[in-house]
Every structure is written in C-alpha cells, then in structure tokens.
Copies of this chain bind each other. A is one copy, B any other.
C-alpha cells in the first residue's frame, strides 16, 4: 500500500483499501506483545473479563428510514461486543458537532440513542462534546466506546475455523445500506426500504449454547458479507465456498441493488451476522437462529474448504464458480 499521498474516500469503504490502511499503516505502530492482534473488541488488559470496542459513526444523513445515527451507534457498539462473546455493560459517548447543526436534531439523536441504550440495558456513563467550525465537520459524528463482560469463553476468531465448518448468515442482506443511500440521494427507488439495524445479542446467546462448536462470529457492516467472508478466509488461511443462491436477500433489496448496479453482498448491514460452526452443528445452529424473529431468514451459505486458501469462491446460480472478491472501490461511504 502507498503510505504517502492523500487519503481517498475508498480508504473508508470497508473494502480492500480500508483493510490495507489499518493493517499496514496503523496496526503495526500500535501492536504490542500483549495485544499482537488488534481486533474489533479486545480485553481491557490481558486476561480481563471486560472487553472494549470503539466505533465512529459518520452516517450521512443522520436520520434515515428505520433508524438514525444515535440508535445505530448503540446497536453497532453492542453488536461488536456481542459477536466477540460479550454482553454490553456501559458506553462512553463522544460527539463532534459542526457549527450550524440544529440543536433540536441533536436532541432527537440523543433521545434516540438513550432509548436504544435502555432497550439493550446498557448505560452511557461518560461523554464528551466538541464543536468544529462550519465547513470543518459533517453535521454530527458520534464515536461510541462499549465495555462488555465476556459471556462466551472462547475467542470467536477465524483462527478457530477449519475445513468442513459451515457458514451461516443470520438474516436478509443490504436493507440498511440501501435505505441510507436512498435517503441521502433522494432516490425514488429504494424509498420503501428501511434500515433493519438491530441488536444481535439475542441471536448470539443462542449460538453460545453450542459451546466449542461455535467457531467464529462477525457482524457484516462496512463492506458487507463479501468483506467479512474475505477477511475470514484471509485470516483463517482456508478457502470458503459459498452458494450464491443461499444468501437471504429480499426481493425489493435485490431489485433496487440491480438498478443501482450494486452488489447486495457488498452492502453494509447493521443487524446481520456471519457465523461459522462445525459441520455436525449446522442444522442445530440454523434452528436456533430461526427461532428468533430477527433470524427467521437465516441460511447456511457456505462451507470452509482446504481448496484455494484465503479465497472466497462462489457457486453461481447457473452452475459455474467465480471468486467473490474483497470489495474494491467506492461502495457506499458514510453508512456507519
């Protein structure tokens, strides 16, 4: 990766360039012996039962069908903890507001955030507010940091997966990202779509009952399912064979994405996760997910293989095979 020159918007899209920026420019400077892997959520110190995660929310617009930046920040933060095996305990809230942003909109955002936090039993215990001059910000940015208590004892990282493991997706893809895009661009198509942002902990709790048969969990946000599967394959150094027809995608999402020339597998979600479980547990895992409303369209979408390590192959509807690549290019910026 280039380490000089201007940052491009693609560095933030959740695709290949995002990963390179973080893995090549940022992590190497911050990695320590005690924390050789920097992940979405880490123990606050080696061996601690408490995990910490942080996320910036720069979504544009801040209000969109089905959700808003405040609610999104709470669910996003709690979901990062949930897929790391932890139950959220408390949150810190950093707000950066651009001069001229309306106080009443800020009030609505904080109301929504507080409401979402209450719904998932997490308390906002500290915060910070900054104001930047007009033209030097983007309305409102939130950075929320969550503290969670570990409730699943094993790491849910790609390192635990192996050939034969089954890959599940917990729900329909793409509605969140497309609803934001439609709202931002004022598109007539997609106007009926609503973000399905939701807390994932209830689904995770079901899968935690599988014990060591549960190998990996990750919420499919920026870069969508395509990014998660590629990160998983690269970090595990195994291949993934996915079945294109098995991905749950609602008809209206598929139609909207087709018209816009977008791949639903690359669109961000907030309330959909990927799980990897042992072969013998796949049916049980699917039933557990489907026992919840949020998981009723869960599907087994693929298998971990020893072929083509680090790559994601997809068997297509017409019987062929193609690579499902790491998303490249612009995708949808500012959707989380």
Contact = CB atoms under 8 A, between A and B. Distances in A.
A6 B126 contact: no
A133 B9 CA distance: 6
A189 interface: no
A155 interface: no
Contacts of A98: 7
A21 interface: yes
B137 A92 contact: no
A223 to B, nearest CB: 13
Given A38-B126, A125-B35, A138-B132, A95 B56 contact: yes
A21 B131 CA distance: 11
A9 B131 contact: yes
Given A9-B99, A29-B110, A127-B26, A333 B143 contact: no
Interface stretch (A41-49, A229-237, A240-248, A287-295): A41-49
User: How many copies of this chain are found per oligomer?
Assistant: 2
A92 B145 contact: yes
B29 A92 contact: no
A136 interface: yes
A22 interface: yes
A151 to B, nearest CB: 14
A173 B7 CA distance: 36
A85 B129 CA distance: 22
Interface stretch (A101-109, A196-204, A320-328): A101-109
Q: Which of A38, A113, A126 lies at the interface centre, i.e. has the most chain B CB atoms within 10 A of its CB? A: A126
A2 B5 CA distance: 44
A102 B334 CA distance: 20
A124 B18 CA distance: 19
B104 A43 contact: no
A39 interface: yes
Contacts of A124: 30, 38
Contacts of A333: 131-133
Contacts of A9: 99, 131, 133-134
A100 B52 contact: no
Contacts of A111: 29
B4 A103 contact: yes
Q: Which of A5, A7, A128 lies at the interface centre, i.e. has the most chain B CB atoms within 10 A of its CB? A: A7
A21 to B, nearest CB: 6
A47 to B, nearest CB: 12
Contact of A26 (B25, B90, B129): B129
A97 B100 CA distance: 21
A45 B89 contact: yes
Contacts of A39: 126
Contacts of A128: 54-56, 143
Nearest to A60: B136
Contacts of A138: 132-133, 136-137
24 contacts: A4-B102, A6-B101, A6-B102, A7-B106, A7-B131, A25-B103, A25-B110, A32-B123, A38-B124, A38-B125, A42-B90, A44-B90, A45-B90, A45-B123, A52-B90, A54-B127, A56-B94, A56-B128, A58-B96, A92-B145, A96-B143, A131-B333, A133-B334, A137-B138
